[in-house]
Amino acid sequence: MTSSGPSPKTSTGAESPWDSPIEVFKESAKELGFWMALRYALIYALSYKPVDDTRYDDQHGTNTSGIVPTRNLDIEEDSTRWQANLFLASPARITRYMIEAQLGAAPIDPQDYSFVDYGSGKGRSTLVAAEYPFKRAIGIEISAELTAIARKNAEQVRNRCLAPIEFFCTDARKFLLPEGNLFLHMYHPFGQDILREVLSGIREQAIATEQPRRILIPYLFSVAMAKAVFHEFPEFRRTRDVFCMNPQYRWTLYEWVPHTTISDEANNSASLL
């Protein structure tokens, strides 16, 4: 899940101001002037819109597309719901690139890692990860409705996958991580308070593990807020920044490095600049 720009429709069918693009253009022209409004209209018309990207679904007969605003998520506790970002799946090719970049750069053997997607939504990133021979491909999602859809999608593609697929409907702060090496995928799934609690939980579980293991956290849509929270946990060392012309697909790789201090992380961050 992550935040995004305006979209024509929500997956729930709720009305959107973009159902009346002419009215939106008129208001924009009043505010920005005709030529500036026209410029932005052309940029919007020609730009990639992830909400309309159904290529994975067209290929596999699944339902992983669409958008669900935060207010429409079936999360009972208000404080949790408003810390959860809206549902919007990342493009399958982005997930594949993030995985394959690590296969070559880290390097990692997926057979030695469990893949976990925090805020898995309808399951697209988890299903894409299952195309690789991970020990397990796991999705964590607090919305029961989205989890049910993800499980149906898993049944649709399970026979084509190399990794066993599991979806858990639970609060990410309460999830017990699998043993062994971990590839923890995050697509800007929550606000800073929940992210802080999730990272604290990952750290506690990592410290409590007697056997040494490797924990990688590729964070997609790497915004300043998320980087600031990660900086509070120097054990999660920032090892790589991957830039993209579309900032929504900029990502940062963090790796669990025990006994790292704030000063160590500051020196490491400076070396990445």
Reply yes or no: is the peptide bond before residue 107 cis, omega within 30 of 0: yes
Q: What pTM did the predictor assign? A: 0.81
pLDDT 10s digits, 167-219? 999 999 999 999 999 999 999 999 999 999 999 999 999 999 888 899 999 99
Spell out the domains of the chain, with CATH numbers in brackets.
Answer: 87-272 (3.40.50.150)
Torsional sign, CA 10, 16, 18, 19: positive
Q: Are 142 and 170 in contact (CB under 8 A)?
A: yes
Measured from the Cβ of residue 111, the count of other Cβ atoms closer than 10 Å reads 12
Banded model confidence at residue 10, pLDDT cuts 50, 70, 90: very low
The β-bridge partners of 75 are none
- Name the helix (H) or strand (E) containing 39: helix 34-46
The three-point CA angle 102-131-108 to 5° equals: 25
Measure the CA–CA gap between 7 and 65, rounded to whole angstroms: 12
